[in-house]
Structure 1
Amino acid sequence: MTAHHPWFGTDELPPPARIGPEELRRTFVHAMRDVGFDGGQVATRPLTVPAASAAELYSASARLLALLRKALLAAGPGRAERMAALAVDETLHPLFTDDFTEERHCACMARPDAVIGPDGPRFLEVNVGGAVGGAVHTHVLTRTWRRLHADGGRVPFRGHSLFAERRRLFEAVCAELGAERGVALLGTVRDLPGVQGTRYFDLEVEHLRRHGFAAEFFEPEDLHHGHGPDGRFRYPVGLRHFTVAEWRHHGIDLAPVRRALDSGCLLLAPQTAYLVSNKKVLGWVSEGRPWMTGAEREFVHRYLPWTRVTGDRAVVWRGRRYGLGELLLRRRESFVLKKAVGMCGDGVLLGPSTAPGVWADAVGRAVREEDSVAQEYVEPGRCASGLTDGTEAGTRSTTIAPLLGPYIVAGRPAGCLVRYFASGESGIVSMYGHGALINVLVGS
């Protein structure tokens, strides 16, 4: 049996009282209806860790996000120089606003991905922006667990509210703009596998309205309805729930978005967020930048696996000098290759589980194209979990290798998504295309 990592603690929260597996599964299937959720198996309890472990995960996430922002902004005095440093396709970044807004808000919301390595959290990447997946799932799962475990008003864990933290961000930005509290959610159901209606967006709209905001969801083709008689956009702040690449894939015209920006809507997170999330920036801070302090370098060494931007160049790994391509070929089982821009596990190859020939071809391409990062592989630590298919016979304790996704909004903890395979295996863990189950992490 695989040992459980001590970071996760030893106190297992019991399943909710007075509710059997059939009702538990039915409760989550109903709560998560039409937001993209496979309810064939559900967790029997949230992943509960010691308060100190949860605090470490969130504080390290916020600090790493701030460091990546610093590294991106230091790469050049403006957007053109920063895009050149990253060698990105400028056509994928057409929605910039003014420099002050871009720099101020580019790291306002993010979800790192982390595993628990031998010494604790190790961050594999940092997804930055309003379109980061799993946010609604995290909010609904956390809220549902809180309701199920409530006992006389007391809940035996601390779970952060992602919607509440985003609401506080929107409120602060509206106040800074001197505007009435109003938020437009801009996205499309076409981006959400298995989703038919707009409930995924409506849940947050309803939350904002309950707290005194004017709020509305817009599909891109309906965005013109957001403009008032004077031509100004009626909502001062928007949640940018899309990426340019996805919308171009769907054939969606970005001109209405540009018009909303030019007519007074500040979309969060702004375009620069998608430069901060480029994995090359992660490689920069892993390798070290001249301006980094000793404390910053120590922090990176502690929490970030060895990560390097691919190219035909020399690197130092574990005290020895190698050509990067040579190192990756000789030590395939020790590394992961990732495209610098990608999501949902696309463009990721795990050396330990990739055939040598496939790996060699990918390494050669990555070195030539210089569009990826190589990262030292971290085997995820394991912890206890419970699963049920809604029957007594199908309810069991198990061991999983979770991928943790702590949300950070305006520097504050905002909930934590957990993705894992029911089998306990590790690998490329994604809700979309890889069959991962989801839960949330809470602090005891």
Structure 2
Amino acid sequence: MTATAGHHPWFGSYLPDRPGPALVREVLVEEMRDLGFHEGLVSARPLLVPPGSAAELYGAAARLLDLLRRALLASGPTARHRMAALGVDESLHPLFVDARLEERYCGCMARPDAVIGADGPRFLEFNVGGAVGGAVHTHMMTRAWRRVYGGAPPFDGPSLFGARRRLFAAVGEELRLPPAVALLGTVRDLPGVGSARYFDVEVDHLRRHGFRAEFFEPEELDRAYDPTGGFRFPLGLRHFTVTEWREHGIDLAPVRRALDAGCLFLAPQTAFLISNKKVLGWVSEGLPWMTGADRALVRRYLPWTRVVRDRRVGWRGREHDLGELLLRRRACFVLKKAVGMCGDGVLLGPSTDPAVWERAVGRALREEDSIAQEYVEAGRCATEVTDGTGSGTRPATIAPLLGPYVVAGRPAGCLVRYFASGESGIVSMYGHGALINVLVAAG
């Protein structure tokens, strides 16, 4: 494969037969209805990359996730010690279960965010847990492209719902539990989502494959108990974060009761500690127990990342005062809150006003709640979009943010977010005007 001029060779140049834009829009709109999908401008084809590129992306994601999990667990013998090492508020993590289950399953599902840098993938952060955004969109958009292209290869790749179903089956077999899963979440968390279909499509998938499954809003958990007081679902999908539910005024006591009654919601509370970006800083800087292979993995796939506090750091072969370095070389860095979602608490040095940047660096040094990360310019590739006006498709050069899902250590589909204008920057599922797509290995 060859790359189009100006486009990164990692993406390749495979183009499938071009389906008609009317068919694409019809199928996408039908599959994505009630999921918060923006219909005004949509991808006209999936993002297709060489199999070797996809394998590298998924493989690096799984290996880095395992390294981050080990780093978090090594930071202290108990959940309390690990929270202290991260400097987090214990009140934001009230839903721990048995320590063995926490440690066994905390890394069971994740979606990192990656861009394609000058020499391949660079992983900017890891979102770990069942509440990671975009999972339903990824599954349904993958299903839409299968319909558009008739289900033939390469559109027969990983199914995210299938991967989660196999995870539930494996955990159930390991713990000797019946095949019954409760999906716990709320549409209040999901901008633009108008119905429970967001959850019901996965419930239907599980039921078709022999599971007893049901979706519950938090106030409905009492329905999950049988007449004897037992909880009818031994496993669950934890599709929420404590922070968001507290912002909605949602009482967590019913969740605590369900946990105490024996339901294991995946991924458990410890997953959110792995998501803390300080863990990324720890492994980037290096930990005493890391092997040569661990360090090589980090050098290859992680940008330089450090926990922000008043100290000296090594960068590009020299020692620097961290605060002075961030102020002097603003255009080289990104500043991120250690805990945050959807791009909140992120400042890109190259596009941030110097005065704003200086105040943010000062605050981060005082609060010690942030990381600094070397800025990686995202590589470009070609795609096509259609706006539904009947004028067909138009080409676009984009800088995609890739979100490869890893479930039980295996590939489970890949979310793609991008600006149709081709600009790079802060991209999230909500609030920044990005389009979504999925990545497919082809060629």
Q: Give the TM interval when normalised to the shorter protein.
A: over 0.9
Q: Return the offset for 1:177.
A: 1.9
- Counterpart of 1:328 (choices 326, 329, 345) is 326
For residues 241 and 268 of structure 2, the distance between their equivalents in structure 1, rounded to whole angstroms, comes to 11
Write the letter of the residue equivalent to 2:37: F
Q: Return the offset for 1:393.
A: 2.7
Write the letter of the residue equivalent to 2:34: D
For residues 168 and 191 of structure 1, the distance between their equivalents in structure 2, rounded to whole angstroms, comes to 26
- Let me know the Cα RMSD of the aligned residues: 1.1
Q: Return the offset for 1:156.
A: 3.5
- Counterpart of 1:183 (choices 178, 181, 195) is 181
For residues 213 and 97 of structure 2, the distance between their equivalents in structure 1, rounded to whole angstroms, comes to 22
Q: Is the CA contact (8 Å cut-off) linking 1:129 and 1:269 kept in structure 2?
A: yes
Write the letter of the residue equivalent to 2:16: L
Q: Return the offset for 1:230.
A: 2.1
Q: Is the CA contact (8 Å cut-off) linking 1:406 and 1:415 kept in structure 2?
A: yes
For residues 154 and 336 of structure 2, the distance between their equivalents in structure 1, rounded to whole angstroms, comes to 39
Residue 306, structure 1, aligned to residue 304, structure 2: yes
Q: Is the CA contact (8 Å cut-off) linking 2:284 and 2:306 kept in structure 1?
A: yes
After superposition, the C-alpha distances for 1:338-366 in whole angstroms (9 at most, x for unaligned) are: 00000000000000000000000000000
After superposition, the C-alpha distances for 1:375-406 in whole angstroms (9 at most, x for unaligned) are: 00000000000000123435201100000000
Secondary structure of the residue that 1:204 maps to in structure 2? Answer: helix
In structure 1, the partner of 2:242 is 244
Secondary structure of the residue that 2:320 maps to in structure 1? Answer: strand
In structure 2, the partner of 1:370 is 368
Write the letter of the residue equivalent to 2:311: R
For residues 404 and 157 of structure 2, the distance between their equivalents in structure 1, rounded to whole angstroms, comes to 11
Moved more, 169-178 or 86-95: 169-178
Write the letter of the residue equivalent to 1:413: P
- Counterpart of 1:352 (choices 318, 341, 350) is 350
Write the letter of the residue equivalent to 1:10: S
Q: Is the CA contact (8 Å cut-off) linking 1:335 and 1:374 kept in structure 2?
A: yes
In structure 2, the partner of 1:88 is 88
Write the letter of the residue equivalent to 2:206: L
For residues 417 and 324 of structure 1, the distance between their equivalents in structure 2, rounded to whole angstroms, comes to 34
Q: Return the offset for 1:42.
A: 1.0
Judged with a 3 Å threshold, the aligned counterparts in structure 2 of structure 1 residues 180 and 123 are, in CA distance, closer, same or farther, namely same
For residues 174 and 103 of structure 1, the distance between their equivalents in structure 2, rounded to whole angstroms, comes to 16
In structure 1, the partner of 2:16 is 13
The 5 Å alignment of 1:16-415 reads 16=19, 20-150=20-150, 154-393=152-391, 395-415=393-413
Q: Is the CA contact (8 Å cut-off) linking 1:163 and 1:207 kept in structure 2?
A: yes
Q: Is the CA contact (8 Å cut-off) linking 1:283 and 1:307 kept in structure 2?
A: yes
For residues 370 and 5 of structure 2, the distance between their equivalents in structure 1, rounded to whole angstroms, comes to 33
Q: Give 4+ residue runs of structure 1 displaced > 4 Å after superposition.
A: none
For residues 239 and 22 of structure 1, the distance between their equivalents in structure 2, rounded to whole angstroms, comes to 36
For residues 96 and 172 of structure 1, the distance between their equivalents in structure 2, rounded to whole angstroms, comes to 21
TM-score w.r.t. the length of structure 2 is 0.98
Secondary structure of the residue that 2:273 maps to in structure 1? Answer: helix
Judged with a 3 Å threshold, the aligned counterparts in structure 2 of structure 1 residues 254 and 309 are, in CA distance, closer, same or farther, namely same
For residues 357 and 157 of structure 2, the distance between their equivalents in structure 1, rounded to whole angstroms, comes to 41
Q: Is the CA contact (8 Å cut-off) linking 1:102 and 1:270 kept in structure 2?
A: yes
Secondary structure of the residue that 1:349 maps to in structure 2? Answer: strand
After superposition, the C-alpha distances for 1:276-316 in whole angstroms (9 at most, x for unaligned) are: 01000000000000000011001100000000000000000
Unaligned residue ranges in structure 2 (runs of 5+)? none
Q: Is the CA contact (8 Å cut-off) linking 1:36 and 1:192 kept in structure 2?
A: yes
For residues 154 and 80 of structure 1, the distance between their equivalents in structure 2, rounded to whole angstroms, comes to 50
Q: Return the offset for 1:22.
A: 2.5
For residues 345 and 168 of structure 2, the distance between their equivalents in structure 1, rounded to whole angstroms, comes to 33
Q: Is the CA contact (8 Å cut-off) linking 2:145 and 2:155 kept in structure 1?
A: no
After superposition, the C-alpha distances for 1:53-87 in whole angstroms (9 at most, x for unaligned) are: 00000000000000000000000011111000000
Write the letter of the residue equivalent to 1:301: R
Write the letter of the residue equivalent to 2:273: L
For residues 328 and 307 of structure 1, the distance between their equivalents in structure 2, rounded to whole angstroms, comes to 12
Q: Is the CA contact (8 Å cut-off) linking 2:397 and 2:422 kept in structure 1?
A: yes
Write the letter of the residue equivalent to 1:57: L
Q: Is the CA contact (8 Å cut-off) linking 2:146 and 2:152 kept in structure 1?
A: no
Q: Is the CA contact (8 Å cut-off) linking 1:5 and 1:383 kept in structure 2?
A: yes
Write the letter of the residue equivalent to 1:235: F
For residues 431 and 208 of structure 1, the distance between their equivalents in structure 2, rounded to whole angstroms, comes to 25
Q: Return the offset for 1:10.
A: 1.6
Secondary structure of the residue that 1:207 maps to in structure 2? Answer: helix
For residues 156 and 171 of structure 1, the distance between their equivalents in structure 2, rounded to whole angstroms, comes to 26
Q: Return the offset for 1:216.
A: 0.2
Write the letter of the residue equivalent to 1:223: L
For residues 390 and 258 of structure 2, the distance between their equivalents in structure 1, rounded to whole angstroms, comes to 53
Residue 441, structure 1, aligned to residue 443, structure 2: no
Count residues in correspondence: 439
For residues 253 and 154 of structure 2, the distance between their equivalents in structure 1, rounded to whole angstroms, comes to 49
For residues 291 and 387 of structure 1, the distance between their equivalents in structure 2, rounded to whole angstroms, comes to 48
For residues 436 and 232 of structure 1, the distance between their equivalents in structure 2, rounded to whole angstroms, comes to 44
For residues 383 and 13 of structure 1, the distance between their equivalents in structure 2, rounded to whole angstroms, comes to 15
TM-score w.r.t. the length of structure 1 is 0.97
Q: Is the CA contact (8 Å cut-off) linking 1:23 and 1:390 kept in structure 2?
A: no
After superposition, the C-alpha distances for 1:88-145 in whole angstroms (9 at most, x for unaligned) are: 0100000000100000000000000000000100000000000000000000000110
Q: Is the CA contact (8 Å cut-off) linking 2:23 and 2:148 kept in structure 1?
A: no
Q: Return the offset for 1:23.
A: 3.0
For residues 161 and 276 of structure 2, the distance between their equivalents in structure 1, rounded to whole angstroms, comes to 25
Write the letter of the residue equivalent to 1:15: R
Q: Return the offset for 1:159.
A: 2.6
Percent of pairs with identical residues = 73
